[in-house]
Structure 1
Amino acid sequence: MAFDEGLAQLMRDDLAGERVTERKMFGGLAFLLDGHMVCGVHGGGAMFRVGKANEAAALAVPGAAPMDFTGRKMGGMIDLSDEAAADDARRGRLMTLALAFAKSLPPKEPR
């Protein structure tokens, strides 16, 4: 399933100034900070890795839902619909949580 390149560019702009890399995964595009996934774009919208402690705050964002790729909820991962992801404020709230979580983790060793 293809992802929305326009949404990917919005997320690149949101992450400007951060040490992020991009990697194709989950049939979409993921943005990583020091080897840890921050967020990504997939065929149905965006995803954010906010961590389990931030799930309740993230789910309070209109349009946010638990991430469910395999039929099971993925703890600490939030899905944001295309419509909600186009909203700068909603996307920004989740991006703030996801960046804070990624920055709390020790950097991964390069492969």
Structure 2
Amino acid sequence: MTGPADPRDALSQRVRDVLAFHPNVREVRMFGVQSFMVDGRLAVAAGRDGDLLVRTDPADHDDLLRRGAVPAQMGGDRPMGRGWLTVPSLTIGDDAGLAFWVQVGIDSRRQA
């Protein structure tokens, strides 16, 4: 049972607020994250610890690392690749920071 203090649930609600303007958003819970599909493609996912998994344009990988993201990992510390980053909860502590990273995830769909 999760309560209001659950970091994933709190972040999920904040992401919902950011995406409220977008007409085609669907949520899917899988592998311990709350995923947000925008126009049928995964954009971001709220992790158990309040970190945000973000789909990115691989060409922007290094620049986004400098903005506070870290390489995303699968189980067993295997990297997910240059198209995925994890943004620590401290980096998305304010609404502007979260909105920036959600937009990165939305914009990544143009790269596929």
TM-score, normalization by structure 2: 0.80
Q: 2:46 aligns with which of 41, 46, 51?
A: 41
Letter in 2 for 1:49: R
CA contact (8 A) 1:30 1:37 kept: yes
In the alignment, the residues of structure 2 paired with residue 97 and residue 20 of structure 1 have an alpha-carbon distance, to the nearest angstrom, of 15
Among candidates 34, 51, 55, match of residue 29 of structure 1:
34
Instruction: Determine if contact 2:8/2:34 at 8 Å carries over to the other structure.
Output: no
Provide the residue aligned with 2:79 in structure 1. 73
Structure 2 match to 1:99: 106
In structure 1, C-alpha distance between the alignment counterparts of 2:78 and 2:54, rounded to whole Å: 16
- The aligned residue for residue 109 of structure 1 is none
Q: Give the % identical residues.
A: 25
TM-score normalised by length of structure 1 = 0.80
> How far does residue 16 in structure 1 lie from its aligned partner after superposition?
1.4
1:56 aligns with 2:69: no
Q: In the aligned structure 2, how far is the partner of 1:65 from the partner of 1:34?
A: 25
CA distance in 2, matches of 1:25, 1:53: 27
Question: Bigger shift: 49-58 or 18-27?
Answer: 49-58
* 1:51 to 1:81, Cα distance in 2 relative to 1, 3 A: same
Aligned residue for 2:105, secondary structure, equals helix
How far apart are residue 69 of structure 1 and its match?
2.1
Q: Deviations over 1:18-57 (max 9, x none)?
A: 1110000121100001221000101121111012122122
Structure 1 unaligned spans of 5+ = 107-111
Give, in whole Å, the separation in 1 of the partners of 2:91 and 2:31.
20
- Is 1:8 aligned to residue 12 of structure 2? yes
User: Structure 1 residue 83: deviation in Å?
Assistant: 1.9
Contact 1:7 1:86 in 2 (8 A): no
User: How far 1:99 sits from its partner (Å)?
Assistant: 0.9
Relative to structure 1, is the Cα distance of residues 28 and 3 closer, same or farther in structure 2, using a 3 angstrom cutoff? Answer: farther
The AA in structure 2 aligned to 1:51 is: D
